[in-house]
Amino acid sequence: MNKQLKFAQTLLIAVLLLACKTPTPMDLNKENLIPKPTSVVATGSSFDWTSKTKIFISENQEESKQIANYLAKFIAPATGFTTQVDATSKADSKNGIVLLLSGNKILGDEGYSLTITEKQVLLEAHNAAGLFRGVQTIRQLLPAKIESDQLQVGPWEIASGSIEDAPNYEYRGAMLDVVRHFFGIDDVKRFIDLIAAYKMNVLHLHLSDDQGWRIEIKSWPNLTTHGGSTQVGGGKGGFYTQKEYQEIVRYAQERYITIIPEIDMPGHTNAALSSYAELNADNKATKMYTGTRVGFSTLDTDKEITYKFIDDVIGELAAITPGEYIHIGGDESHATKKKDYIYFVNRVQKIVSKHNKKMIGWADIAAADLEENSLAQFWQTRPKNALAVIKKNVKIIMSPANLAYMDMKYDSICPLGLNWAGYVNVENAYDWNLETYVEGISKENIVGIEAPLWGETIEKMDDIEYLVFPRLPGYAELGWSKDVNKSWDEYKLRLGKQKQRFQYMNINYFASPLVPWQDQARDSVVMK
């Protein structure tokens, strides 16, 4: 065979092979989205995001622009594309990715719709938050390697069709305890990114406890210089300056996540009691504490200085917290007499309102005279307090420890975590419903779900990720998706197909044997 012919033949084979090997997602219905959207209709073709694809937004929509830039920045490392963002008066008639804020309120504050054709990906929402949630869906519709921070080979195709989606609950959050072990702002930002990927909208930061005080309060400086100086096990601890806290708040805001700061009181206050002698009944400062016992400390509920202290702390915190809530803890105040506890919570509730915020407390606050716009967080394994709270017309955040605590071990051999509320494996974490879990607590009593991560056993970001993944996507789905047809057997398949995504995101996840982990991430893909 002459050389030219042979070359042509090899070329032809290579081209054919390449063509066959280009998998194209064609069936939107088969994408493994978490949380599961309200409705999906597939139309059997796909959109190809190339280096020429632009993102279009309407003129004068600052928030759409920010979200468009976020999306362009997100896809840049893996694709190598520098995606242009164009503001135009007729965005919706353009070919490319279109982010549109429209007057259609039907999908609510965070809902969105996606209409994907071969030429256009049209994302519409009534609010910017909805656009941001929809961008997370686009993210999951792209190949898993889009999550990589290294250049990858495309194509970057998205199956065509339409999605309508909106959250079932308005409050979908996670809590990070930065007291028992301190985590710096880069770790907190990564945590925010991880929860944002699953459409959560609240990050509750547990900022003070017996072992440490983690937020600068300018009028009481020892709280951080002394109270922030250690942690469980005796390490060096740390704290956020108000400037750093504001940076966290802004980072969260850009992801449509509200920061809820918690100052735990009247118990869990040893770090404050150690920083200021006058807060103690005997005017003697306590020693800093680096163990993990709970329930031994209390502010003196009779002293006026206590309320001056709280007024200052909440005042400074409220001024740098745009969200409407301040969490005042209130859990496990075993060293406070019940009547003192009630008097204390009633007074603190007034201080919170004075600073134009609403109060959240752990459901132990059921004993107090709660205002109807306060919220209580149900955490105990028994619902006594939660039931008492709803009798006062106060709504509940669902965080039952035996199902929703991400610091519970997965099983008896789990190297991290505690087990006082039992083991919480990936199936149990997912396989329950917020509104049927406690008899007597129904949907109208519940604002949503929060999965707390207490920090006694976690020292580094890898530890956080190990306990959070893969449980967190399940909590996100419990809060977002409508319950009809929910089943662990169906969910575990979708979860198993997140493996590649977790890997490209560099998440140190626990490869639970209950989940059928798959190397192939997409069922929607067919060979062309």
- Total residues at the site for ligand TNX (CB under 6 A)? 10
Which of 87, 185, 294, 388 contacts ligand TNX by CB under 6 A? 294
Asked whether position 450 contacts ligand TNX by CB under 6 A, the answer is: no
For the question of residue 247 being annotated catalytic, the response is no
| Amino acid letter, 503 | Q
Q: What is the token pair recorded at 156?
A: 């970057």
Q: Return the DSSP state at 252.
A: H
CA dihedral 365, 370, 371, 372 (to 10 degrees): 80
From the list 110, 147, 316, 332, the catalytic residue is 332
Here's the x/- map for ligand TNX, 58-97, by CB under 6 A: it reads as ----------------------------------------
Distance from C-alpha of 266 to C-alpha of 277, rounded to nearest angstrom: 15
Q: How far is the CB of 294 from ligand TNX (least distance, A)?
A: 5
74 versus 454: smaller Cβ distance to ligand TNX: 454
Q: What are 14-23's contacts with CB under 8 Å, separation 24+?
A: 19/528, 20/527, 20/528, 21/527, 22/155, 22/527, 22/528, 23/522, 23/525, 23/526, 23/527, 23/528
379 versus 469: smaller Cβ distance to ligand TNX: 379
In the region spanning residues 393 to 412, those forming contacts with ligand TNX, defined by CB under 6 A, are: 405, 407
Q: How far is the CB of 180 from ligand TNX (least distance, A)?
A: 7
Burial-class residue 355 by CB neighbours within 10 Å (0-12, 13-18, 19+): middle
Q: How far is the CB of 418 from ligand TNX (least distance, A)?
A: 5
Which of 56, 325, 454, 491 contacts ligand TNX by CB under 6 A? 454
Three-class secondary structure of residue 232 per DSSP: helix
Here's the x/- map for ligand TNX, 245-284, by CB under 6 A: it reads as ----------------------------------------
255 versus 395: smaller Cβ distance to ligand TNX: 395
Q: How far is the CB of 264 from ligand TNX (least distance, A)?
A: 8
Q: What is the token pair recorded at 375?
A: 């919220």
Residue 269, phi then psi, degrees to nearest 5: -120, 20
- Widest CA span of the chain, in angstroms? 101
Q: How far is the CB of 214 from ligand TNX (least distance, A)?
A: 14
165 versus 456: smaller Cβ distance to ligand TNX: 456
In the region spanning residues 329 to 358, those forming contacts with ligand TNX, defined by CB under 6 A, are: 331-332
Q: How far is the CB of 332 from ligand TNX (least distance, A)?
A: 5
Measured CA to CA in angstroms, residue 386 lies from 80, 366, 444 at distances of 51, 7, 14
91 versus 401: smaller Cβ distance to ligand TNX: 401
Q: How far is the CB of 391 from ligand TNX (least distance, A)?
A: 21
Burial-class residue 278 by CB neighbours within 10 Å (0-12, 13-18, 19+): middle
Q: How far is the CB of 297 from ligand TNX (least distance, A)?
A: 11
Which of 362, 410, 469, 491 contacts ligand TNX by CB under 6 A? 362
Beta carbons of 246 and 194 less than 8 angstroms apart: no
Here's the x/- map for ligand TNX, 295-334, by CB under 6 A: it reads as ------------------------------------xx--
405 versus 469: smaller Cβ distance to ligand TNX: 405
61 versus 211: smaller Cβ distance to ligand TNX: 211
Q: How far is the CB of 416 from ligand TNX (least distance, A)?
A: 12
Which of 418, 493, 514, 526 contacts ligand TNX by CB under 6 A? 418
Distance from C-alpha of 442 to C-alpha of 36, rounded to nearest angstrom: 22
Beta carbons of 24 and 157 less than 8 angstroms apart: yes
Distance from C-alpha of 142 to C-alpha of 25, rounded to nearest angstrom: 9
Q: Name beta bridge partners: 501.
A: none
CA dihedral 70, 76, 79, 84 (to 10 degrees): 80
Which of 344, 379, 480, 504 contacts ligand TNX by CB under 6 A? 379
Q: Name beta bridge partners: 120.
A: 96
323 versus 452: smaller Cβ distance to ligand TNX: 452
165 versus 331: smaller Cβ distance to ligand TNX: 331
Beta carbons of 473 and 32 less than 8 angstroms apart: no
Burial-class residue 213 by CB neighbours within 10 Å (0-12, 13-18, 19+): buried
Please identify every residue annotated as catalytic: 332
Residues that bind ligand TNX (CB under 6 A): 294, 331-332, 362, 379, 405, 407, 418, 454, 456
